[in-house]
Amino acid sequence: MKVTDIVEKLGLNVFSGHEGLGREVTGGYASDLLSDVMGHAEAGTVWITIQTHRNVTAIASLRDISAVIITSGEKPGDDTIAQSNEEGIPVLGTELRTFELAGRLYSLLG
Amino acid sequence: MTFEYKVQGGDFTHAGYASSQVKKMLKQLGVDSVVIKRVVVCLYEAEVNIVAHARDGIISIVLDTDTILMKLTDNGPGIANIEQAMQKGYSTASPEVREMGFGAGMGLPNISANADRFLITSEPGTGTALEITINLNSAAV
Ligand SMILES: Nc1ncnc2c1ncn2[C@@H]1O[C@H](COP(=O)(O)OP(=O)(O)OP(=O)(O)O)[C@@H](O)[C@H]1O
Ligand SMILES: [Mg+2]
């Protein structure tokens, strides 16, 4: 499955990083603790979080995360958007809360 | 080859710069992606610890044919009890730093789990020094 399929099926906003919409997705990881993601998220996953600052895209880039989904209607910061565009890592958004979004993504990837 | 990077305490927008430079370099050298991942986890956690807990720091990367040595020294408050700091979940991060999602007390355990050799020395009131070594050819485990 590609990032773009997830955007379409879950009705997500695409804030930035459009260039990376064709990236392959192999799983998901939901966490707002950065060192938890750093230590445990696999490459190729979609990261679900309410964090919006630039360290999110920094970690996504370092750990080869396919895309970031920001939940609860939060918006990414300007420098988060800038890095997302530079590196082609899509930053997506939803009004849903992490629990509901993770559930839908889980069934989608099932 | 030796490379140096400066780290500024409190500057979260540039945290991860050295890690991303080193990642690019190792990728160009064709190092195995699992090994790169381990290097990146160690260096990022050590880098962010300087930003979150110390003042100025210097990172020096010594790249050899079969190892990478990452030395990080800072002039922060130091760590009084290293054994305690190494425990999963122990953190003295400020409320502002926690709000950003740091402060889970998992950084140093992440380094331990990913390094082939990890030394930490610290003098309270003076600073902290980390030496992290990873074998570049240890891919096939
Ligand atoms: N360079 C440093 N200078 C001073 N204290 C440090 C330094 N690095 C770590 N510490 C101390 O060790 C504790 C544990 O560090 P560790 O990286 O495991 O967790 P954390 O940084 O608090 O949270 P996380 O890494 O999960 O975001 C810190 O909270 C801090 O008290
Ligand atoms: Mg830490």
Domains of chain A: residue spans and CATH:
3-109 (3.40.1390.20)
Is the pTM for the entire model greater than 0.90? Answer: yes
* Amino acid at site B19: S
| Interchain proximity B100–A51, CB inside 8 Å | yes
Whose CA is closest to B109, among A33, A65, A35? A35
Whether B45 sits inside 8 A of A35 (CB atoms) is yes
Instruction: Name the domain count of chain B.
Output: 1
Q: Write the ipTM.
A: 0.94
Pick the residue from chain B with its C-alpha nearest to A54. Answer: B13
Whether the CB of B73 sits within 6 Å of ligand 1:
no
Over residues A68-97, the pLDDT tens digits come to 999 999 999 999 999 999 999 999 999 999
The C-alpha atoms of residue A16 and residue A28 are separated, in whole angstroms, by 19
For residue B68, tell me if it sits in a domain.
yes
In a domain, B104, yes or no: yes
Burial status of residue A44 (CB atoms within 10 A of its CB: 0-12, 13-18, 19 or more): middle
Q: How confident is the model at residue B39 (pLDDT cuts 50, 70, 90)?
A: very high
Spatial CA neighbour of B18 closest among B63, B62, B61 = B61
Of all atoms in ligand 1, which is nearest to the CA of residue A34?
27
Looking at residue B109, which CATH number applies to its domain? 3.30.565.10
Between the alpha carbon of residue B113 and those of residues A22, B67, B106, B117, B132, the distances in Å are 33, 17, 10, 10, 11
Question: Tens digit of pLDDT for each residue in B71-117?
Answer: 999 999 999 999 999 999 999 999 999 999 999 999 999 999 999 99
DSSP for residue B95: H
Residue B21 lies in a domain: yes
Which DSSP helix (H) or strand (E) runs through B74?
strand B67-74
Q: Tell me, using a 6 A CB cutoff, whether residue B16 lines ligand 1.
A: no
**Pocket-testing residue among B50, B53, B84, B110, ligand 1, by greatest number of atoms within 8 A of Cβ:** B53
Decide if pLDDT at B36 tops 50: yes
**Chain A interface disruption, residue of B21, B37, B51, most A CBs within 10 A:** B37
B105 lines ligand 1 (CB under 6 A): yes
Q: Tell me the two tokens of residue A65.
A: 């995360």
Q: Is residue B141 part of a domain?
A: no
Q: How far is the CA of A92 from the centre of ligand 1 (A)?
A: 30
Does residue B140 fall inside a structural domain?
no
Range of the domain at B66: 2-135
How is residue B51 written in tokens? 């930003």
